[in-house]
Amino acid sequence: MYARSTTIAGTPGALDAGITYVRDTVMPLVQGLEGWVGLSMLCDRESGRCIITTSWETEEAMRTSGPMVRASRGRAGDILDATDTDVQEWEVAVMHRVRETGEGACARVIWCRAQTGQLDRIMEAWRTEIPPQLEQMPGFCGVSVLVDRASAHAVAAVSYESREAMDRSAEQGLILRSRFADRMGFDITDVAEFDIVLAHLRVPELA
């Protein structure tokens, strides 16, 4: 499985219009493309930052879809009054859910960078150690990890049923990821929290 993420530095006041556009225009567009298996949209209502992610069965399907969604991506940026847009392509390394997300769900997103050639070693340890500990956190819904092997970057999104549940997990989550990063020898480059405003995912369990 593969994914393309589009991170848009938008304007808070334009978020509702942007969400409507992605839901009513972008979603039907990508649903009709071969190999599509999901779309999600995360928003930070304070900063206006959004991450729109589409998932694909194969790398070929992801790459083929690129020219077909370019215009809609530009239009989304216009509606969101974007100051910057960043597009990245990933391999889906992990998709683990214990429950579906509903209204009010949130996600904590963690960006990481490893040394070249170390991602497989890190992910093998991560799969064994981290999901069982996340499952002990009240309100935990699921976790996904995307990797870019060429650059040795990865991003993990941990979802919770509510903002309250995510807030309760903050201290434990910080300890968990800091200890794991120190032991495995990779850098955490950014952490941010978002509302999950769209989650239409058919990506199967990948653990």
Segment 134-145, tens digit of pLDDT: 999 999 999 999
What are the sequence ranges of the domains in the chain? Answer: 2-201
What per-residue confidence (pLDDT) applies to 141? Answer: 95
Residues with pLDDT less than 70, the chain: 203-207
Which pLDDT belongs to residue 204?
60
- Structure token digits, residue 6: 């589009």
Q: What is the pLDDT of residue 134?
A: 94
Radius of gyration of the chain (CA): 16
pLDDT of residue 206: 61
Residue 117 is predicted with a pLDDT of 85
State whether CATH 3.30.565.10 applies to domain 2-201. Answer: no
Residues 169 and 160: beta-carbon distance below 8 Å:
yes
* The predicted structure's pLDDT at residue 100: 86
Quote the pLDDT of residue 106: 97
pLDDT, tens digit (0-9, with 9 covering 90-100), for 66-82: 898 899 999 999 999 99
Which two three-digit tokens encode residue 199? 């989650």
